[in-house]
Amino acid sequence: MLILGIDTSCDDTSASVVKDGVDILSNVVSSQAEIHKRYGGIVPELASRRHTENIIPVVERSIVEAGIHISDVDALAVCYGPGLIGSLLVGCCFVKSLGYVLNKPVVTVNHLEGHIYSIFITPTFPSFPFLSLIVSGGHTSIYCVKSHGSYEELGKTRDDAAGEAYDKVSKMLGLGYPGGPVIDKLAMQGNREAINLPVPLMPDTLDFSFSGLKTAVKNTINRFKDDELLGEQVIRDIAAAFQSVVVEVIVKKVQWASRSTGINRIALSGGVAANSGLRKGLLQTAQGEGLEIFLPPKELCTDNGAMIAAAGYQRFSRGDIAGLDFNPKAYLPLSS
């Protein structure tokens, strides 16, 4: 069974053909990072305009790379939320039109569900039940995945997601956008012990909060600026301290979630899942805690059509077909 998956939830235009929910035949992603870099973050209107320009060539390329004809596709899967509403509209309207013209069924996929299913298109994936840690620009959440289509939210961000905090701290430090990769690189060259930052653990919950940490970084930067000491090494040290705290919080929450549920299988996904510090922290913790950590390759951590196609395959197999009157949703909680 061939599923064409499309994601335009944020600033990447992506399309993929996946066979039987596990075999990636093509996975094409058109990034807009260079466009938004000059603004220090994503400009929603520019993102939706570029999606409109990119979606047809991206889909065409995914079909060609898969070595099939568009009529060979059994169903179309599209991310319909959560995300930037203008961006979502482009993908959803395109899939509605394509489904109508080709007379193909359409499946709608929650973006968070797509991230969860990124682990199923890798050679090694966990058995049910498992914990799914989603860490991205818009989300930092822990789910208990009981079976295909059955999820329980254990914790989520109360303010800034981890990826959003990375971008904002990077902007404060004058490092540009996106912030995750550059802070990850600088953190390797910095001394975490040189900067004292608070660790927002909130021990009574599995929820996350990074806004206070972001404020602490801002105050630290201002203090060094006032003393005219904000040099390259200080910036590296701040990056190291910030990343160390973020990783510590996330790893602790995963430990607590595992202990409270008795589940030791942990799957990581989302753009921040590509962060080397987070990967290292989870793997080190796994050795001492007896956890099994499942990490997708970095190209499947960021938004992509393959994860939407994989999740769409399961929904299509259950007969969960959408009518062509569905609408995208900027806010869309993940439910079973």
Q: Tell me the two tokens of residue 75.
A: 């169903």
Q: Is residue 237 part of a domain?
A: yes
Give the pLDDT score at 228. Answer: 86
The residue type found at 322 is: A
Residues 16 and 131 grouped into a single domain:
no
Residues 103 and 236 grouped into a single domain:
no
Q: Is residue 333 part of a domain?
A: no
Residues 134 and 229 grouped into a single domain:
yes
Exposure pattern of 286-307 as b/e (b: 16+ CB <10 Å)? beebebebbbbeeebbbbbbbb
Residues 188 and 281 grouped into a single domain:
yes
- Chain-centroid distance of CA 318 in Å reads 25
The three-state secondary structure class of 224 is helix
Give the pLDDT score at 16. Answer: 98
* Stretch (H or E) spanning 133: strand 130-135
Residues 64 and 185 grouped into a single domain:
no
Residues 18, 43: Cα–Cα separation, whole Å: 31
Residues 204 and 247 grouped into a single domain:
yes
Number of domains in the chain: 2
CB neighbours of residue 284 within 10 Å:
13
Q: Is residue 332 part of a domain?
A: no
Residue 336 CA neighbour count, 13 Å, CB half = 10
Q: Is residue 250 part of a domain?
A: yes
Give the pLDDT score at 227. Answer: 85
Residues 243 and 214 grouped into a single domain:
yes
CB neighbours of residue 78 within 10 Å:
31
Q: Residue 65, class by beta-carbon neighbours within 10 Å (0-12 exposed, 13-18 middle, 19+ buried)?
A: middle
What is the bridge-based pairing of β-strands 23-30 and 292-294? unpaired
CATH of the domain at 215: 3.30.420.40
The three-state secondary structure class of 60 is helix
Residues 41 and 186 grouped into a single domain:
no
Give the pLDDT score at 206. Answer: 98
The domain in which residue 6 lies consists of 2-117+300-317
> Residue 300 — left, alpha, or beta (φ > 0 → left; ψ -120 to 50 → alpha)?
alpha
Q: Is residue 305 part of a domain?
A: yes
CB neighbours of residue 71 within 10 Å:
9
Q: Is residue 325 part of a domain?
A: no
Residues 172 and 52 grouped into a single domain:
no
Give the pLDDT score at 126. Answer: 97
Residues 146 and 281 grouped into a single domain:
yes
Q: Residue 248, class by beta-carbon neighbours within 10 Å (0-12 exposed, 13-18 middle, 19+ buried)?
A: middle
Give the pLDDT score at 336. Answer: 66
Per-residue pLDDT tens, the chain, 336 aa: give them.
Answer: 999 999 999 999 999 999 999 999 999 999 999 999 988 889 999 999 999 999 999 999 999 999 999 999 999 999 999 999 999 999 999 999 999 999 999 999 999 999 999 999 999 999 999 999 999 988 999 999 999 999 999 999 999 999 999 999 999 999 999 999 999 999 999 999 999 999 999 999 999 999 999 999 999 999 999 888 899 999 999 999 999 999 999 999 999 999 999 999 999 999 999 999 999 999 999 988 899 999 999 999 999 999 999 999 999 999 999 999 999 999 999 986
Cα maximum dimension of the chain? 67
Residues 33, 173: Cα–Cα separation, whole Å: 18
Residues 92 and 146 grouped into a single domain:
no
